[in-house]
Amino acid sequence: MAILNDITVLRLGHRIDRDKRITSHLGLTARAFGASSIVLSGDKDPSAFETWQSVTNRFGGNFKWRYEDRPIHWLRKISKNNEVIIVHLTMYGNNWRDSKKEIEHNKPLVVVVGGTKVPAEVFEISDFNISVGNQPHSEVAALAVYLENIIGPIDENDHFTGGELTIIPSKNQKIVKNFDD
């Protein structure tokens, strides 16, 4: 399994007019499924940062985010030191189940998720180009499936500490409690 504190999601090519909800949900999914951070590229959009800040404050955890003005340059730079594994989620890649066996889990992981058309260089820089299905679908769904599979189930009581609220699982009602209760 991957090391929880060493997974970063890179959101390539965020478009503020088109991708606001999807990018917001990518960050929330990354957080909920165990990634430690998300790097946003494309249009600068403070609303995504505000959403991630609000959820992290209310529900806990140590999730981080930042903006990267030159994502391809950053990917090139981090790939040269060979201390990270770069996984590009794309419907054109190899099957994720087969690729899972090949990916080292003792190094930090950067998971690249595209927004706009992904530059060909991303395919070259990435250590693995993998797909969660070869049919068009949501990048949020692909990220969730991939993270759940490499990390496994998250112990929410251990992983999401320091928040104000917790959700109590219930068969038939909504139960939200303050951590102080």
Residue 90: closest CA among 113, 71, 72: 113
Going by the DSSP 8-state scheme, the letter that residue 119 receives in this structure is P
Question: What pLDDT, in 10s, does the model give residues 73-127?
Answer: 999 999 987 889 999 999 888 888 888 778 877 889 999 998 778 999 999 999 9
* pLDDT surpassing 80 at residue 58: yes
Number of domains within the chain: 1
Q: Which domain holds residue 145?
A: 4-178
Q: Domain with 108 in it: what CATH number?
A: 3.40.1280.10
Q: What percent of the chain has pLDDT over 90?
A: 60
Instruction: Give Cα separations from 95 to 98, 102, 118, 129, 148 (angstroms).
Output: 5, 11, 19, 9, 16
| pLDDT for position 5 | 59
Residue with the larger pLDDT of the pair 4 and 39: 39
What confidence score (pLDDT) does residue 1 get? 45
The type of residue at 73 is H
109, with CB counted inside 10 A (0-12, 13-18, 19+), is buried
